[in-house]
Chains A and B, each alone.
Chain A
Amino acid sequence: KNQVEQSPQSLIILEGKNCTLQCNYTVSPFSNLRWYKQDTGRGPVSLTIMTFSENTKSNGRYTATLDADTKQSSLHITASQLSDSASYICVVSASILNTGFQKLVFGTGTRLLVSP
């Protein structure tokens, strides 16, 4: 069964501190992995997208890693800001064989609260 699990479920950190969010998946056949940020009441916004051959990708203060062997990914946030308070969702894309289509499997997200 295709699943994406994230940890922790929620996290509180002080402004300026770093944090790392985890994502484990059992999705096959794997196409790519994305991290989205979802502010309360808004739609998810893409932070990074990584394919099988990519180990790390950065987007400003966000750095995502991918270990395709262990099927794990992490999202590291550096020097957190109050505006980083949101849900962070790991999404794994599974290609539907011989169709060119994909199925997006969502994790339940990590709720991050950055406290002043």
Chain B
Amino acid sequence: NAGVMQNPRHLVRRRGQEARLRCSPMKGHSHVYWYRQLPEEGLKFMVYLQKENIIDESGMPKERFSAEFPKEGPSILRIQQVVRGDSAAYFCASSLQGLTEAFFGQGTRLTVV
């Protein structure tokens, strides 16, 4: 049983481009969480999804950011028209149910040039 898989591990985008970050949860897990970590800072909650539902998006910027977790396939965090301030590590975690252990992926490091 593979762990939480995130890809790509590293992503470079020019200002104004779109970034798509993928997260495949552990097998059987239907809950996915996305976090952003700026250099030298802690993890900040962005969004919590269950299959085909957004449970909590209180940490998501109102513009340019969106997330989905379709019935089939990975969860996608999409950042449109990226800016330099979007450069960060984006971590995904998954859990079997709502209150159980959350396991983290290795993150995607986004660099906006």
Residues of A near any B CB (own CB < 8 A): 31-32, 34, 36, 41-46, 49, 89, 93, 95-96, 99-109
Q: List 19 A-B contacts (CB under 8 A).
A: A32-B99, A36-B104, A42-B106, A43-B91, A43-B106, A43-B107, A44-B43, A44-B91, A89-B43, A95-B99, A99-B55, A100-B98, A101-B99, A102-B99, A104-B33, A106-B35, A106-B43, A106-B44, A108-B42
Residues of B near any A CB (own CB < 8 A): 4, 31, 33, 35, 41-45, 48, 50, 55-56, 91, 93, 95, 97-99, 101-107
| Known contacts A89-B43, A108-B42, A109-B42, A102 near B98 by CB under 8 Å | yes
Contact between A99 and B101, CB atoms less than 8 A apart? no
Contact between B41 and A44, CB atoms less than 8 A apart? no
A residues near B101, Cβ cutoff 8 Å:
34, 46, 49
B residues near A93, Cβ cutoff 8 Å:
99
Q: Is the interface of A mostly helix, strand, loop or mixed?
A: strand
